[in-house]
Amino acid sequence: MTKATILVTGGLGYIGSHTVVALQQANYEVIVMDNLYNSSIEVLERIKRITGKRPRFVKSDLMSAKKMETFFKANPQIEGVIHFAAYKSVPESVANPLAYYQNNVGSLLNLLQSLQKASCSNFVFSSSCSVYGQPEALPVTESNTHLAPTSPYGSTKKVCEEILQDVAQKDVLNAISLRYFNPVGAHESGKLGEDSKESPGNLVPILMQKALGIRQELSVFGNDYPTPDGTCIRDYIHIEDLAQAHVSAIEYLLAGKAQRPHEIYNLGTGKGYTVLEVIHAFERVSGVKVYSQIVPRRAGDIAMIYADASLAQNTLGWKATRSLEEMLLSAWHWEQYKQNILSKRK
């Protein structure tokens, strides 16, 4: 007997697919909704190979409130929504801010409008530490209300949180916004991981491509920051810890434990690492030497951020447990699998 049915939008994406696995393994029935813009239908099979169950799949871009209303009416068994579907590239958001607002904010508005006529009132939103910009005090806590995102991507997440705050006050809606720090790594099976259609812009997938020899250069964007080795500090979190946090959040809502209509939680480890520390940690766990070159700073980067994640631990009962080394080794195994197995299928 499954616990409840959860709709996961963007469920074939990197964080979404790992969350679908965690939900199925926690005995939830999952419906995956995805427009396949930045993901592949093959991820359904990868999920099935891990859990033994292929989730029901609905192709949709969430851009029609009417279609979403019809969908919820036809699926009254849905008791919770986890909303991942969004564009997530920081540099792309700088190049095309309007597309980011239309997609990221528009899809949330359509979902919330369609939920007004549905019986589902539990909503988990995929937010981001990028809403903070460069915090004045570290570790950063959720009570930091001076939010100064440095990209349109971060601004769309901040606007979405504000929409949830206002709508949840009025409607019958229990909402949680989860502020992810830097998600990295892959599933322990080695059969699921980051596989965006876009060329990676994030450090760890680029580092893996360099180590595999499918990328010539690994540029370190600036070593003149006020940090121990001059390179930026980030709070990297294992994708499986992140996925588990979504199960904890939905369980918390379904159990009726919400204390306010909209609650916000940091999802980080509370520990920051510099770019060079990440590269050196990878060299240790993989035994692969990786040469990099220092280049000028990347526009929009902040110097350092890491989370105070105690609120999620105290309220949701969730805490990240996996180390940076485990993150990097899981990413390495996945990238090798992707290159050796998946590339031969094309």
Q: Distances in Å between the alpha carbon of 87 and those of 36, 81, 107, 174?
A: 12, 18, 11, 24
For the bound state, the minimum distance from the C-beta of residue 129 to ligand WQD, rounded and expressed in Å, comes to 6
**Residues in region 268-297 near ligand WQD by CB under 6 A:** 275
58-64: long-range contacts (C-beta < 8 A, 24 or more apart)? Answer: 58/31, 58/32, 58/33, 59/33, 59/34, 59/35, 60/33, 60/34, 60/35, 61/35, 61/37, 61/107, 62/9, 62/33, 62/35, 62/106, 62/107, 62/110, 62/111, 63/103, 63/106, 63/107, 63/110, 64/110
Backbone phi and psi for residue 226, each to the nearest 5 degrees, phi listed first: -80, 65
Cβ distance to ligand WQD smaller for residue 12 or 68: 12
**For ligand WQD, what does the binding mask look like between residues 9 and 28, x meaning CB under 6 A?**
--------------------
For the bound state, the minimum distance from the C-beta of residue 50 to ligand WQD, rounded and expressed in Å, comes to 23
150-153: long-range contacts (C-beta < 8 A, 24 or more apart)? Answer: 150/300, 150/301, 150/302, 151/90, 151/93, 151/94, 151/300, 152/93, 152/94, 152/97, 152/100, 152/101, 153/87, 153/88, 153/89, 153/90, 153/92, 153/93, 153/100, 153/104, 153/128
Tell me if 155 contacts ligand WQD by CB under 6 A. Answer: no
Tell me if 266 contacts ligand WQD by CB under 6 A. Answer: no
Cβ distance to ligand WQD smaller for residue 201 or 270: 201
d(CA 327, CA 41): 25
Cβ distance to ligand WQD smaller for residue 85 or 203: 203
Q: Which of 39, 107, 130, 330 binds ligand WQD (CB under 6 A)?
A: 130
**Residues in region 162-201 near ligand WQD by CB under 6 A:** 180, 182, 201
Whether 101 is catalytic is: no
Q: Distances in Å between the alpha carbon of 248 and those of 22, 126, 175, 308, 312?
A: 10, 14, 13, 18, 9
Cβ distance to ligand WQD smaller for residue 68 or 86: 86
For the bound state, the minimum distance from the C-beta of residue 322 to ligand WQD, rounded and expressed in Å, comes to 17
Cβ distance to ligand WQD smaller for residue 28 or 181: 181
Q: Which of 29, 162, 283, 301 binds ligand WQD (CB under 6 A)?
A: 301
Stretch that binds ligand WQD, among 109-117, 125-133, 185-193, 239-247 (CB under 6 A): 125-133
Tell me if 202 contacts ligand WQD by CB under 6 A. Answer: yes
Tell me if 104 contacts ligand WQD by CB under 6 A. Answer: no
Q: Is 162 exposed, middle or buried (0-12, 13-18, 19+ CB in 10 A)?
A: middle
Cβ distance to ligand WQD smaller for residue 78 or 307: 307
Q: How many residues bind ligand WQD (CB under 6 A)?
A: 19
**Residues in region 70-99 near ligand WQD by CB under 6 A:** 88, 90
Task: Give residues in contact with ligand WQD (CB under 6 A).
Answer: 88, 90, 128-130, 180, 182, 201-203, 206, 219-221, 232, 234, 275, 298, 301
Which residues are annotated as catalytic? Answer: 153
